[in-house]
Amino acid sequence: MLPAIMLRPPFYFIVLLSFSLVSCKPQGKPKYIYYGLADALKEKNPENVLRLSFINAKLDSIPEEIKRFTDLIELDFSYNNLKSIPAWLNQFKKLQSLDLRVNSIDTLYPTFFELLRLEDLDIRDNKLKHIPPGFGKLKRLKSLNLGSNDLSDLPTDFSGLDSLSLLLIDLNNFKSVPDVIFNLKAMENLHLYHNNISEISDSISKLKRLRQLSIDNNNLTNAQILHLKKILPNCLMDD
């Protein structure tokens, strides 16, 4: 008697082969970046949309349709007319890079600081006059651009940005360097130019990794600048 396996019809093996071919079929790969909502919505698999750009899209608000792209790691809303950031943006738990420069944002709400995986944040050229507590939660943040706003101080929990190595607060209204900056142990590149700074505490020497400091167009005397160069011997200073 032949073994049972030998008695099965050829169809059985055809089905097995077909299943194998289907299971090995390569899945569609995500594009490097999707430009605009229409482009992103063409993607059949929302999980493939990782990088989405709305640069110069004349937006007054962030479209809610992007909520479906829960795997986003990069969002670019630069050069628009945004006035605020919706609370639901915090649903993008994987977001690493957020570009909001050149808008009209004047407030950051507490939910904004729930984007705990952020590494790069650009809010340059907006209308921020005050930053609420919350930045200290962003432990992975490496690069932060707050330049060209209307800021004159920073929240105390700002010192909790343990990974921050690049900070731009140029073109604001600072009269002195906020003390919280001196606790940023990872700081390598600090931009303070075009403020109203008339003094910089010797505590800046606590920034052992600082390699570049931009301080031109402030109210510092030549003597103060020379002193800074003395206490920061390994720092390239743009004065």
| pLDDT confidence band for 207 (50 / 70 / 90) | very high
Are 160 and 199 members of one domain? yes
CATH code of residue 132: 3.80.10.10
Domain count, the chain: 2
Contact status, residue 51 vs residue 34, Cβ threshold 8 Å: yes
At 28 the pLDDT is 61
The mean pLDDT of 155-164, rounded to a whole number, is 96
Q: Name 148's Cβ contacts closer than 8 Å, sequence gap at least 6.
A: 124, 125, 126, 170, 171, 172
At 238 the pLDDT is 83
DSSP 103: S
Sign of CA dihedral 133, 165, 114, 54: positive
Are 64 and 151 members of one domain? no
Q: Residue 169 above 60 pLDDT?
A: yes
Tell me the whole-structure pTM to 2 decimals.
0.87
Are 94 and 134 members of one domain? no
Least confident range of 18-22, 24-28, 79-83, 196-200:
18-22
Q: Residue 5 above 50 pLDDT?
A: no
At 74 the pLDDT is 98
The mean pLDDT of 74-94, rounded to a whole number, is 97
At 26 the pLDDT is 43
Backbone dihedral angles phi then psi of residue 195, each to the nearest 5 degrees: -125, -160
Closest CA relative to residue 123, chosen from 104, 142, 138, 96: 104
Q: Is residue 176 part of a domain?
A: yes
**What proportion of the chain, given as a percentage, has pLDDT over 70?**
88
Q: Residue 6 above 80 pLDDT?
A: no
**Residues spanned by the domain of 230:** 128-239
The mean pLDDT of 100-105, rounded to a whole number, is 98
What is the SS3 assignment for 238?
A: strand
At 185 the pLDDT is 95
Are 50 and 132 members of one domain? no
Question: Is 226 exposed, middle or buried (CB count within 10 Å of its CB: 0-12, 13-18, 19+)?
Answer: exposed
Q: Is residue 21 part of a domain?
A: no
